[in-house]
Chain A
Amino acid sequence: MSESKFVYVTYIRATPEKIWEALTTPEFLQKYWFGVHQESDWKPGSSWTMRMPEIGVTDAGEILEAEPPRKMVIKWRNEFKPELKAAGYTRCTYEIEALGEVTKLTVTHEAPEVMVAAVSLGWPMILSSLKSLLETGQPLPRTDKPKKV
């Protein structure tokens, strides 16, 4: 099966430690993930789950690498939509690099071709929301889902 890769980069005025905290603290994550909850103890080999209040567990997987505050790799599979679950695991890598006053956060998400839409839809919004939360103390408001014409 062919794989697709996405690379998202954002520069945030915050320390790598603060960004690591934002990536690994459930209450913090929930704020910029628009209510989505993530749970793990963020150690290599540990399980990882994502849940939404209305649905329950939507995604699950395993922490493959954790190197605070520099790098984390998550093996990630959708558990909620049968066609996405069947497509198998994706691999999500966070890389954090201090560059003077700002920190570069790179998210690389590799996924089977059929999952491209599911994977690529949310990241720009989530990263903008994280940046806003760390720099201003406020996440971005949750916007309405697009309505179909």
Chain B
Amino acid sequence: MSMDRVFKALADKSRRRLLDRLRAKNGQSLGELCEGLAMSRQAVTKHLRILEGANLVATRKEGRLKLHFINPVPINGIAERWIGKFERGPLDALADLKRKLEGTGK
């Protein structure tokens, strides 16, 4: 799975938004994912296809529905590539601090 595809998929705001929604609630159908979004069903379908192609979204059939799951494995691969062995702890602490000070998860 190429890293180029992961970066291309993540470069789009709407696709990051879809990943945020799956992180908040995993295993959603296309219909659920479209709710409350100012995007056509067609556009969401296209974005999901790109996310799936980058292995950032995994899908499963459940009955008649196709459910979408966030797959963070490629993002972990990116982290492993550039974050050193002993940096994870301090980086997590920094992220924690930023979250506390800014009161946000983003």
Contacts and interface: CB of A to CB of B under 8 A. Distances in A.
Partners in one complex: yes
B58 interface: yes
Interface of B: 1, 26-27, 55, 58, 60, 69, 71-73, 75-77, 80, 85-86, 88-90, 92-93, 96-97, 100
Given A5-B26, A108-B60, A149-B100, A128 B76 contact: yes
User: Interface majority SS on A: helix, strand, loop or mixed?
Assistant: mixed
Given A7-B27, A9-B71, A106-B58, 4 more contacts: A5-B26, A7-B60, A124-B75, A149-B100
Contacts, number: 65
Interface string A5-29: 1111111000000000000000000
A125 B83 CA distance: 13
A146 B69 contact: no
B58 A143 contact: no
A10 B73 CA distance: 7
A148 interface: yes
A4 interface: yes
Given A5-B27, A6-B26, A6-B69, A149 B88 contact: no
Nearest to A123: B73
A41 to B, nearest CB: 29
Interface of A: 4-11, 106, 108, 123-125, 127-128, 131-132, 140-141, 143-149
A148 B93 contact: yes
Contacts of A106: 58
B87 to A, nearest CB: 8
Contacts of A125: 76
A38 B80 CA distance: 24
B73 A8 contact: yes
Contacts of B77: 128, 131
A24 B55 CA distance: 25
19 contacts: A5-B27, A7-B60, A8-B71, A9-B55, A10-B73, A11-B55, A123-B73, A124-B75, A124-B76, A127-B76, A128-B73, A131-B77, A144-B88, A146-B88, A146-B96, A147-B90, A147-B92, A147-B93, A148-B93
